[in-house]
């Protein structure tokens, strides 16, 4: 046994702290340099990575090195191999999907999170992580103009997809079939469970239902009105028909800010129906929820106070580094009974006194995400956040006005927030031709690296989407995107 102890190590023991702080500083400088570059019009990298598939992988050996490599070498390879393969979400001309960016306070928060390396699974495993998470979610709830904060339990997850999974798991628990113990297979005492959402709803609802054993056949896609909002009459009819067929309406997912167009479902009327039917109401406000921070946009959150749960993503439009999704429910006890499972080695003396976040979700180990959100909310203040969100919406309206004033371009959906849906549809071009034409425009603009947009389909037609959500985006970037679009349209 002593042999092991006295055998000299074949490699030198790492210095305390393992690595030289100068290298760490060089890494931080590199991040700051990236931010400087993204604010320098003359030095902007292409938004969309220009590499071909396999380019990055082919430069990376098939196996990890046996011998240690200097961090300087690795950082050099980040520059040489990785950065060219990055599509720059921080770029001011990133307008795809739901454009989002981080910010300096968040970056610092994320860095500190990494430095502290706290695991927020139990209160005792970092009291600050748990207590800050609770407090910062109370801040955000109230900042969005939502009432009665004491009645809502908040938890930060990685993504809206996970938050919605928790919501629907809680809905299933609330239905009282003890699925966590008995499962669903082979049971005659459990009717078919149905989840309702609009046909514009994000695919994360289907994914949650896949995971929870509800099945995508039981995700009922309710038709929308002319402005892409869930039709409450159709929802009512669907639930009534399902009950008549012996099925059980379990939950409705209403969306505030749908992915394709940012339409807002009529949550108050949906809440009425859910109350009547005793059905869980989850609100997916992944993108647009934070807009409640600007008081004039609070109309969009009407009815949320009557929901059972709700999600919004600070990592989408609140300048918070990926990942950070804020989830609240009025039924802390139900969420807990859906997930709590305390192994002996996790029991602590404080369990009756504190929140142990491991009890409220799938994960045991949890990142300390609250720190960056706290730093963002403090460093901007709610006024500063509202001003930036407001400006994004204003820029979107200005862009839409340009589109609308051009005879060959047309808006494809209303714009309640900062997303513009539009297409090039000159007179005489058929809808089908215009679909292919707009797909070519999109590809031509994106390949320039000067702007990046994405697309969707509305009423079966190919539509361009320009989403503003990046903290660095200014009017000049929209002007550039507009001229690139026009150039691409006339070149096709
Ligand atoms: C309305 C809506 N819900 C959910 C999601 C999923 O978000 P996440 O990537 O955080 O899972 C999105 C993503 O864009 C979304 O637009």
Please work out, in degrees rounded to the nearest 5, the angle formed at the alpha carbon of residue 447 by the alpha carbons of 445 and 449. 85
Mutation to probe ligand 1, out of 161, 290, 418, 454 (largest number of atoms < 8 A from CB): 161
Exposure letters 437-456 (e unless 16+ CB within 10 A, then b): bbeebbebbbebbbbbbebb
Rg (CA), the chain: 25
Q: What are the tens digits of pLDDT across the range 404-459?
A: 999 999 999 999 999 999 999 999 999 999 999 999 999 999 999 999 999 999 99
| C-alpha closest to that of 253 among 315, 311, 313, 174 | 311
DSSP states of 91-160: STTB-SSS-----HHHHHHHHHHHHH---TTSSTT-HHHHHHHHHHHHHHHHHTT-S-GGG-EEEEES-H
Mean pLDDT of the chain: 93
Mean predicted confidence (pLDDT) in 106-131: 93
pTM: 0.93
Question: Does pLDDT of 10 surpass 60?
Answer: no
Separation of 160 CA from ligand 1 center, angstroms?
5
36 SS3 class: helix
Q: How high is the pLDDT of residue 163?
A: 98
Question: Does pLDDT of 157 surpass 60?
Answer: yes
With a CB cutoff of 8 Å and minimum separation 6, the contacts of 444 are: 488, 491, 492
Separation of 163 CA from ligand 1 center, angstroms?
10
Q: How high is the pLDDT of residue 9?
A: 47
Q: 154 is written with which tokens?
A: 């908040």
Q: How high is the pLDDT of residue 13?
A: 52
Question: Does pLDDT of 70 surpass 90?
Answer: no
Q: What are the tens digits of pLDDT across the range 181-192?
A: 999 999 999 999
Q: How high is the pLDDT of residue 297?
A: 97
Of 112-116, 208-212, 287-291, 438-442, minimum mean pLDDT range = 112-116
How much of the chain, in percent, has pLDDT values that exceed 90? 85
Mean predicted confidence (pLDDT) in 75-95: 93
Q: 260 is written with which tokens?
A: 């394709």
Q: How high is the pLDDT of residue 134?
A: 97
Question: Does pLDDT of 34 surpass 90?
Answer: no
Output the residue whose Cα is nearest ligand 1's atom 7: 160
Q: Which atom of ligand 1 is nearest to the CA of 164?
A: 4
From its phi and psi, is residue 187 left (phi > 0), alpha (psi between -120 and 50) or beta?
Answer: beta
Higher pLDDT, 19 or 199: 199
State yes or no: cis peptide before 179, omega within 30 of 0.
no
Question: Does pLDDT of 17 surpass 60?
Answer: no
Q: How high is the pLDDT of residue 315?
A: 97
Mean predicted confidence (pLDDT) in 95-119: 92
Separation of 22 CA from ligand 1 center, angstroms?
39
The residue to which tokens 């960056």 are assigned = 372
Question: Does pLDDT of 208 surpass 90?
Answer: yes
Cα separation, 263 vs 401, in Å, equals 19
Structure confidence at residue 132 as a pLDDT band (50, 70, 90):
very high
Structure confidence at residue 27 as a pLDDT band (50, 70, 90):
confident
Separation of 319 CA from ligand 1 center, angstroms?
16
Residue pair 106/35 in contact by the 8 Å Cβ criterion: no
Q: How high is the pLDDT of residue 71?
A: 84
CA-based torsion, 213, 216, 217, 222: positive or negative: positive
With a CB cutoff of 8 Å and minimum separation 6, the contacts of 211 are: 165
| C-alpha closest to that of 470 among 206, 15, 93 | 93
Separation of 290 CA from ligand 1 center, angstroms?
13
Cα separation, 309 vs 61, in Å, equals 46
261 SS3 class: coil
Q: 343 is written with which tokens?
A: 């192994």
Question: Does pLDDT of 295 surpass 80?
Answer: yes
Mutation to probe ligand 1, out of 97, 290, 313 (largest number of atoms < 8 A from CB): 313
Distance of CA 148 to the CA centre of its chain: 25
Q: How high is the pLDDT of residue 349?
A: 86
Question: Does pLDDT of 6 surpass 50?
Answer: no
Q: What are the tens digits of pLDDT across the range 308-342?
A: 999 999 999 999 999 999 999 999 999 999 999 88
Q: How high is the pLDDT of residue 121?
A: 94
Q: How high is the pLDDT of residue 277?
A: 95
213 SS3 class: coil
Mean predicted confidence (pLDDT) in 108-120: 92
How much of the chain, in percent, has pLDDT values that exceed 70? 96
Structure confidence at residue 11 as a pLDDT band (50, 70, 90):
low
The β-bridge relationship of strands 461-467 and 419-424 is antiparallel
> How many CB atoms sit inside 10 A of residue 297's CB?
20
264 SS3 class: strand
DSSP state of 412: -
Residues with CB under 6 A from ligand 1: 98, 159-161, 202, 204, 255, 257-259, 284, 286-287, 313, 325
Separation of 213 CA from ligand 1 center, angstroms?
21
Q: Which atom of ligand 1 is nearest to the CA of 201?
A: 1
Q: How high is the pLDDT of residue 4?
A: 43
The partner residues of 452 in beta bridges, in order of sequence, read 94
* Phi, then psi, of 233 in degrees rounded to 5: -65, -40
Q: How high is the pLDDT of residue 33?
A: 83
| C-alpha closest to that of 265 among 291, 318, 228, 296 | 228
Q: How high is the pLDDT of residue 243?
A: 97
Structure confidence at residue 32 as a pLDDT band (50, 70, 90):
confident
With a CB cutoff of 8 Å and minimum separation 6, the contacts of 216 are: 206, 209, 210
Q: Which of 95-104, 197-206, 349-358 has the highest mean pLDDT?
A: 197-206
């Amino acid at each position: 046994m002593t042999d092991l102890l006295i055998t000299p190590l074949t490699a030198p023991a790492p210095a305390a702290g393992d690595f030289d702080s100068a290298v760490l500083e060089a890494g931080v400088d590199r991040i700051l340099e990236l931010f400087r570059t993204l604010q320098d019009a003359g030095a902007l990298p292409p938004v969309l990575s220009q590499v071909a598939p396999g380019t990055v992988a082919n430069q990376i050996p098939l196996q990890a090195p046996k011998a240690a490599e200097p961090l300087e070498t690795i950082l050099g390879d980040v520059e040489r191999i990785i950065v060219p393969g990055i599509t720059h979400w921080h770029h001011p001309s990133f307008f795809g999907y739901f454009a989002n960016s981080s910010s300096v306070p968040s970056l610092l928060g994320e860095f500190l999170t990494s430095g502290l390396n706290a695991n927020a699974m139990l209160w005792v495993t970092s009291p600050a992580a748990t207590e800050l998470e609770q407090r910062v979610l109370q801040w955000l709830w109230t900042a969005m103009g939502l009432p009665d904060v004491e009645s809502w339990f908040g938890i930060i997850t990685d993504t809206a997809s996970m938050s919605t999974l928790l919501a629907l798991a809680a809905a299933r628990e609330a239905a009282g079939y003890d699925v966590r113990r008995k499962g669903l297979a082979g049971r005659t005492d459990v009717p078919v469970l149905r989840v309702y959402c609009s046909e514009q709803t994000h695919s994360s609802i289907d994914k949650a239902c896949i995971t929870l054993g509800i099945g995508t056949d039981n995700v009922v896609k309710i038709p929308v009105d002319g402005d892409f909002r869930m039709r409450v009459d159709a929802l009512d009819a669907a639930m009534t028909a399902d009950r008549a067929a012996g099925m059980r309406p379990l939950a409705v997912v209403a969306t505030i800010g749908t992915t394709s167009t940012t339409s807002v479902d009529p949550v108050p009327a949906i809440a009425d129906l859910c109350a009547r039917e005793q059905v869980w109401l989850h609100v997916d406000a992944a993108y647009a929820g934070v807009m409640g921070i600007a008081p004039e946009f609070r109309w969009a959150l009407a009815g949320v106070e009557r929901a059972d749960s709700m999600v919004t993503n600070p990592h989408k439009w609140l300048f918070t580094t990926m990942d950070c999704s804020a989830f609240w429910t009025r039924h802390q006890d139900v969420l807990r009974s859906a997930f709590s499972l305390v192994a002996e080695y996790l029991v602590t003396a404080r369990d009756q006194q504190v929140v142990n976040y491991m009890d409220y979700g799938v994960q045991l180990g949890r990142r300390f995400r609250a720190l960056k959100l706290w730093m963002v909310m403090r460093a901007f203040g709610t006024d500063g956040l509202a001003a930036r969100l407001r400006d994004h919406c204003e820029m979107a309206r200005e862009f839409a006005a340009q589109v609308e004033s051009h005879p060959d371009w047309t808006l494809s959906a209303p714009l309640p927030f900062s997303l513009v849906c539009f297409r090039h549809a000159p007179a005489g071009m058929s809808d089908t031709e215009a679909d292919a034409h707009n797909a070519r425009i999109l590809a031509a603009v994106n390949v320039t690296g000067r702007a990046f947009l994405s697309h969707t389909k509305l009423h079966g037609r190919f539509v361009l989407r320009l989403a503003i959500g990046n903290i660095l985006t200014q009017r000049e970037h929209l002007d550039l995107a507009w001229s690139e679009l026009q150039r691409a349209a006339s070149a096709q």
